[in-house]
Structures are given as structure tokens and as C-alpha cells.
Chains A and B, each alone.
Chain A
Amino acid sequence: MVDTPISPTSPVVTYDTSLETEIAHLSVIIQENPTLNQQYTPRWLAIQLLESDSTLSAELHQHADLLQQAEASRARIIAHYQEEPDILLAEQRYNFVHQLTNQVLTRPDGNQLTFSDKVDQIVTHRYWGLPIFLGLMWLVFKMTADLSAPMVDWIDGTVAGPITNRVMTILAMLGLSGSWLEGLLVDGVIAGVGGVLVFVPVLMALYLALALLEDSGYMARAALVMERPMRVVGLPGKSFLPMVVGFGCTVPAYYATRILDNERDRILTGLLAPFMSCGARLPVYLLFGTIFFPENPGLVVFGMYLLGILIAIGLGLGLSRTLFAESEQSPLIMELPPYRLPTPRNIWMQIKNRTWAFIRKAWTVILSMSILIWLLMAIPITGSGSFADTDIEDSAFATIANIVAPAFAPLGFGSWEASSSLITGFIAKEVIISTQAQIFAVAEADEPFEETTMFEDVSEIVTSFGAAVLDTLKSIPLIIGIDLLGESDEAEPSALMTAIRQHFDEVSGGHGALAALAFLVFVLTYAPCMVAAAAERQELGDRWMWFSVIGQTGLAWVLALFVFQGGLLFFG
């Protein structure tokens, strides 16, 4: 290995004389300008100018003289070759590379099929390709949803149980039991921190799945298989994966948009992913379906999932022909890298770094939202309560819900009870149910706080962690459909169901079922929950986050209006 400095006087690639003349001509002008000479390598800039690089031309708008000279040079080249300079330059670079490769590389004769080629004959097969792809997507979905579930429960339980106990015990020792500080710490801070941490196992499972798919080389094949059907809605094949993940949770769906190759595709996929009904929306569908359509709750749930997909398809068709039209669709030229065994180290680094980036970015948003909601619920506006000791209907939160409520009247659910559950639903969609339970005062009374010793708390954390690890292992066969955990459905409290039924009947003027459907359509469509919003902000930026939050809520309002008023017209 010889060490000779790269010298501008002897470039590695030398072009045709006519091209070199123009390059030299422009280089001299650049060299004579101290600012340009300081900022750019003259020969490089000259070549870029000949290629008429639009981003560079914009940067150089002050150097009108140079741009003029470049135009003149380009015109001379075009006159001489009858061809665009960028094509000529690229062609000659390819020639150089081709000759160089011939000179330094010797290959054995004959074209034998590699291992990758053989696998590809099956995996990208006209008929087998799609079932194999759908099967693998099913695995990814099960991984993000099921593999992480025991750990999510463990974190949830540890935060709500032993850790909360510890804080309350310490506060009790300081004589602060039942104070506003306890409320702030337990219901605001700890709940907020827990809200971030429960997503860690979900994201780790997602990133494990993504790393396996990407590093093995399958992702490129998946893109190929799904390219045609997805193109119809203006998306590339790869964006099928974030959508599938979205049925588990919208948060990892946003992060899964990273696999896409360009910004337009990432943004469009990110905008459509929240319409895939996430796992948190399912209990709401199920509860309302059971209350209002007891004969056919399954049909309601299925209908909601289908509606979400239809909305996404409709919006995809619309957006890809309007807002996202002018950006060129990336043509279907893709590299199929050879299959490789992913290295554990690479996989672990991806999981670790990406998950950590989520925690770093999301905790501020989530913690402050959690504290804000606690604060609103703690401030008494009416009634005889004091700060941090007031009934929910007397709080500032109820006041705000009351102000918003009339907006929902045309949709059939214009009550503060309904609107406040939609507001807390922004924390997490499943909270809609617990807020209503709290409001209709049918929630089970909080378990009386029992002081525990440090030892009890620590040992509970350890034993429950052990159980969670065991459940995670048990859930691995579950991914391929064998259920070792057994059904764990909780029976819904019937008192809550009666209360909701009565309330929706009352507030909608006797059209409870219709109002409930409109409510579900609203829940399906409106703003993604705050963690999802934080994820979208991290992945797509502030602007698109607000676009989603405001746009989806507006869309939800219109669709719910359509359902309720339309329903009144037809069945009223």
C-alpha cells in the first residue's frame, strides 16, 4: 500500500478532452474566487455545475457569473455531443469503473446459481411469494403484540404495585399521606414514567423483528412481493409492514416507517398507519359492541377494523394524487442483496439504540401530558372539594369537557361524560373505558393502601419478573398459534354496561345504538394517542404530527356526523 496524496492535478477519473476543457475552464473561475475556493474542491464543483445539480445551483445563486459560465459550458458540450453532460459524465465514470474492475478482478468462468438465487426462486415466486410474505408478516405482528405482552404487564404491575407502594410508604413516613404531593407523584409522575416504560418491550420486540427481516435480506423481497398491490394506493410494497404492525400498536408502526426508502413514502405511510385499529381500541369496540349490539358484537368489531382499512385506502388514493403527487414515485429498481445470517451483535445494537432513542425523545411529552391531566383533575372548579381532593365532575377537567361537549352534540354524544373520556383517550385509547367507569361511579373502589415493607416490594418485583420471563418463553409457541397461556379475558362489569347504555340513550334522544356507532367511528379515527403522537413527532417531525392530530380529529368528527345524522335519516 503506497501513500501518495490525492492531487487535483491528476484526477482519478479523466473524462474526454472536450469535457476536461470545460471542467478546467470552470475550475479556474472557481479557484479565482476565494470564498468558493475555500468552500469547495474546484474540480468537484465544476463537475457538479456541468451536471446542473439543482440543489447546488440554488446555493450558488450569488455567483451569477459562475452559473452563467456553467450554462455556456453545458451548451457547448450539448452542441458537441448531442447529449446531456450529466449522462456523459456518468457514462464515462461507468466506463472507468468497468475497465478498472476488469483489470483488478478475476472471476471463475460460468454462472452458477448462488444459494441466494435458489432461495429467491421460492420466496419471490409468483404464487408462493405472497403466502410466504403474509405468513412472515403474521409472525412480525405476533412478535410485537404477544412476545412483549408479559413484560408489558410486568412493568405495568411493578410501576402500579411495588414502586407506587414504596413511594406511598415513604410519603406516609413523612406524614404526607393523602396530600396533593402524593397525588402528583403517584397519579402524575409515576403513571407518566410507567406510560413510557410499558412501550419498551413492545419496541424491543418490533426492532428485533425489523432487524431480523432487514439484516437477513428478506425485507427487499417483501417489498418486491407487495409492490404491485400497494402501488394502487400510492405506496411502496414495504409500507405494508408498518400497517401490519399498526394493528398491534400505532407507536411501533410509526417507528417501522424507517424501513422505507424515501421521505415521501415514510410520511404517507406514517399518516395512514394510525387508521389500522390498534390493540388499545379493541376493548372499546368490544365493550360498545356488546352493550348496543349484543347479538353481534363481533360484527361491530370487524366492521371497525374494516372501516379503518377503507379510510386508509381512500386517503392513500386521495393523498397520493394530491399532496404527495408531484414527488416522483421511486421506480421499481431494487437490489436484492444476498441472504445473510444476521449477527446477534448487529441485532442487539439496533434494538438497544433505537429503543433508547424512543425513551430519550418520548419521556418529556408523555410525562408532561400525564402531569397536566392530573393537574386538571386536581383543580376544583365547582363543589366543595379542595386541591387534589375533588370529584371528577367538579374538576377543571370536567369544565373543559363541558365546553367541548356541544361540538359532539350533532354526533349524538354531546355530554361532558362522553367528551371527557375522549380527552383522556388521548393518553391511551383504552383509558376511554376506565374514565367512563370512573365517571359513572361504577369503578371498583381503590384497594385500600396497605403498607408494605421494602423486602416485600423487592421480592414481588423479582418474583413477578421471573413469572414474566417464563410467560415470554411460553408466548414463543403462541407466535405460531399454540396457546399455552389460556384465555385471560376479563368479564366486563355489567353495571358499567347498563350505565353507558342509559347515558347514550339519553344524550342522543333515544338513538343510543346509533350514537354508540358514531362514538366508535370517532374513537377509530381521531387523534393518535399521545405516545403515538410523540413517536410521530420523532419520526416525521412537528408539522406532520399536528397534521395528523388535527386532521384525524376533524375527519373523525365528519365521519361520526355522517354516521349519526345519516343513520337518523335512514332509520330515524
Chain B
Amino acid sequence: MPPLTIALAGNPNTGKSTIFNALTGSRQRVGNWPGKTIERKAGMFKHDGFELEIVDLPGTYSLSAYSLEEEIARDFIIKATPAGVVNVLDATNLERNLYLTTQILETGVPTMLVLNMYDQATARQYRIDTAALSTALHGILIVQTSASRGEGLETLKQTIVTFAQQQANRRKPHGRYPNQPHQPSCHV
């Protein structure tokens, strides 16, 4: 079975690239999105014998397809049907970053959150009630990281494995997502 694909989404300047580098190490491929002038980065994530393909989507503020970046990000989430989306947020800019989150959640693709730059939020004496945030977003998985300092990355890797395993178990052979009506599966 080919490894599941996870999309990395988020606003620009959230440290998404740092997280992407931390997850995929040197196992990266850089190219362009087909027919586009925008850089496409993908890489393999390995942790505890678990393997995933991670695609770094262009940084966008929304999924409204007003710009090419937004269109690419949206099309990937909708059409390439990744097993899940890891949404990276700047913890010092929660309100603006959460707008994209609401749009990603609307696509119905399973999503987890990474509150990055947590150290800077703490330095500014921000307090984020992650439990309440998770509850408000229907029990979404949330990890706090300070990727540029390497903090929280182990927990993030663990959580991504947990997250991906949930999706792998839920995903039916021919269905899109668990809530869709069952498709008759044909075994040859």
C-alpha cells in the first residue's frame, strides 16, 4: 500500500517550512506545481516505522481561490484528497490564522492543528486555552510547538502518527471520508 498523504497548510510566515523540514529531514523533493510557477515541496515523514508523504501547500490566508496559491492549496485538499491536513498556525496571531482553519474544516477533510511559535506567544504573556479550542472545534487534535527552537517536535511527530493512523483505520477502501455513504467495494 502506498503511504498516506498529509497536506501541510497554513498562513504565510507561520514557520510552516521549518516544520516541514523538521518532519521530512533530507527526504524532500522540490519542483513546481504542474503548469504553475509556484514551488511545490513534498517529502517523506518516517517515525516509529510509520511512513507518510507530506506535501507542503503554498502559504495562504484563505481557501477562496482568489490567488493562484489559494487555488493550488484548495485544489489539493479537495481533489488530491489527502488523508488529512496538518494546519500550522502562528500562536501569536491566533485570530487571523483561525480563519483559514474554519475553511479547511468546511472541506470535511480530517484536520489537526499545530500552534507554532508558542514560545513567542508565551513571551508576550499570551495564554491559550488549547482544551477549549479543541472542544470548540469538535475535539480537533492540537499540538504546541516552537519549531525554530526544536521544541514540541517529538510530540508533533507522535501526534501526526496517531492522527494518520486514525484516518487510515477510518478510511474505507473506496469511500472518501468516513461520513460518506458506503460504496460497494469490489475485490478482484
Contacts and interface: CB of A to CB of B under 8 A. Distances in A.
Interface string B131-174: 11111111111100000100000000000000000100010000
B188 interface: no
Contacts of A343: 18, 148
Contacts of A3: 139, 141, 166
A55 B67 CA distance: 11
Contacts of B36: 263
Contacts of A101: 94-95, 98
Contact of B138 (A4, A108, A357): A4
A338 B14 CA distance: 10
Interface in B12-42: 12-13, 17-18, 21, 26, 28, 30-32, 35-39, 41
Interface string B168-188: 001000001111110100000
A217 B14 CA distance: 12
A74 to B, nearest CB: 16
A343 B178 CA distance: 40
* Interface hub of A1, A37, A353 (most chain B Cβ within 10 A): A1
A2 B135 contact: yes
B82 interface: no
B106 interface: yes
Interface in B97-146: 98-99, 101-103, 105-111, 120, 124-142
B107 A44 contact: yes
Q: Is the interface of B mostly helix, strand, loop or mixed?
A: mixed
A349 B28 contact: yes
A105 interface: yes
Contacts of A323: none
B174 to A, nearest CB: 9
Contacts of B107: 41, 44
B98 A100 contact: yes
Interface residues of B, number: 68
A40 B21 contact: no
A353 B41 contact: yes
Nearest to B111: A6
A354 B120 contact: no
Contacts of B99: 93-94, 97
A303 interface: no
A1 B139 CA distance: 7
A104 B130 contact: yes
Nearest to B120: A338
Nearest to B38: A263
A539 interface: yes
Contacts of B65: 53, 55-56
Given A10-B138, A354-B30, A541 B64 contact: no
B105 A13 contact: yes
A569 to B, nearest CB: 43
B92 interface: yes
A217 B13 contact: yes
A258 B39 contact: yes
B51 interface: no
Contacts of A257: 37
A208 to B, nearest CB: 16
Given A3-B166, A4-B138, A93 B103 contact: yes
Nearest to A343: B148
Nearest to B99: A97
Contacts of A354: 30
B169 to A, nearest CB: 11
Contacts of A346: 17-18, 21
A330 B99 CA distance: 21
16 contacts: A2-B135, A5-B170, A11-B106, A12-B106, A44-B78, A53-B64, A55-B65, A101-B98, A104-B130, A257-B37, A330-B67, A341-B148, A343-B18, A346-B21, A349-B21, A353-B41
Which 3 residue pairs are nearest across A and B when measured between Cβ atoms?
Answer: A41-B108, A337-B13, A4-B139
